[in-house]
């Protein structure tokens, strides 16, 4: 049984969705309900996953830990395909996620006004360039890894929902939109959202 520290709608939603894809039971703990979360993760971030006393941190590392824990459809066996799957996970976690994090940072740290708008729009433009690279890849495949959903698709679907918090235009191509919608429509994604909500009530 796993324990996942999360924040609603945060990147930990991808961890939870993958746990459900793997049919793993999980107990959820909202980070804000923990008295001193710094004892669990000194840098304050979710996701944190506990597996039988082991504390696992960093979204991409947790993802690879889970994908390697049992046979599944999200992570290919072929060496080259697996390398591409890892590259996609790293792109999501270390390139797309930080690009969205800039929007949160600007929003929380700059005073209202034209300079803030300019910074938000610059951050949005950088995000749009990243989505263009996804759209180009999806010319030849339905998902980043091919014809079935991968962990990176799930991570990107979680981040794609963050634009609604900001007054910026995030442009998604039609193939990207179709891929993200198909992830968001998966029973596991819906169940993960429901579990977060129910756990908070």
Give me the residues that bind ligand GSH (CB under 6 A), please: 7, 10-11, 44-47, 58-60, 93, 101
Using CB atoms, what's the residue nearest to ligand GSH? Answer: 59
- What's the min distance (Å) between Cβ of 42 and ligand GSH? 12
Residue 7 vs 170, nearer CB to ligand GSH:
7
Alpha carbon of residue 195 to chain centroid: 16
Residue 1 vs 43, nearer CB to ligand GSH:
43
- What's the min distance (Å) between Cβ of 114 and ligand GSH? 27
Residue 103 vs 168, nearer CB to ligand GSH:
103
Residue 90 vs 184, nearer CB to ligand GSH:
90
Residue 129's nearest CA partner among 95, 162, 102 is 95
- What's the min distance (Å) between Cβ of 58 and ligand GSH? 4
- What's the min distance (Å) between Cβ of 147 and ligand GSH? 27
Query: 151-160 and 97-109 helices cross at what angle (nearest 10)?
Result: 20
Residue 7 vs 119, nearer CB to ligand GSH:
7
- What's the min distance (Å) between Cβ of 7 and ligand GSH? 6
Sign of CA dihedral 67, 70, 71, 73: negative
Residue 156's nearest CA partner among 56, 173, 140 is 173
């Amino acid at each position: 049984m796993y324990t996942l520290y999360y924040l609603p709608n945060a990147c930990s939603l991808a961890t939870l969705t993958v746990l459900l894809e793997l049919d793993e039971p999980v107990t959820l703990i909202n980070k804000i309900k923990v008295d001193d979360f710094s004892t669990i993760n000194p840098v304050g971030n979710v996701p944190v996953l506990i597996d039988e006393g082991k504390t696992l941190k960093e979204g991409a590392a947790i993802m690879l830990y889970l994908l390697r824990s049992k046979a599944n459809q999200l992570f290919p066996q072929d060496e080259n395909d697996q390398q591409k799957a890892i590259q996609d996970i790293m792109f999501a976690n270390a390139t797309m996620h930080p690009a969205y994090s800039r929007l949160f940072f600007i929003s929380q740290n700059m005073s209202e006004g034209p300079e803030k708008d300019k910074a938000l729009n610059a951050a949005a433009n950088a995000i749009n360039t990243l989505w263009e690279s996804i759209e180009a890849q999806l010319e030849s495949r339905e998902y980043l890894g091919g014809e079935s959903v991968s962990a990176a698709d799930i991570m990107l679907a979680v981040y794609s929902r963050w634009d609604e918090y900001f007054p910026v235009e995030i442009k998604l191509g039609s193939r990207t939109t179709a891929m993200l919608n198909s992830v968001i429509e998966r029973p596991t994604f819906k169940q993960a959202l429901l579990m977060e909500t129910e756990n908070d009530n």
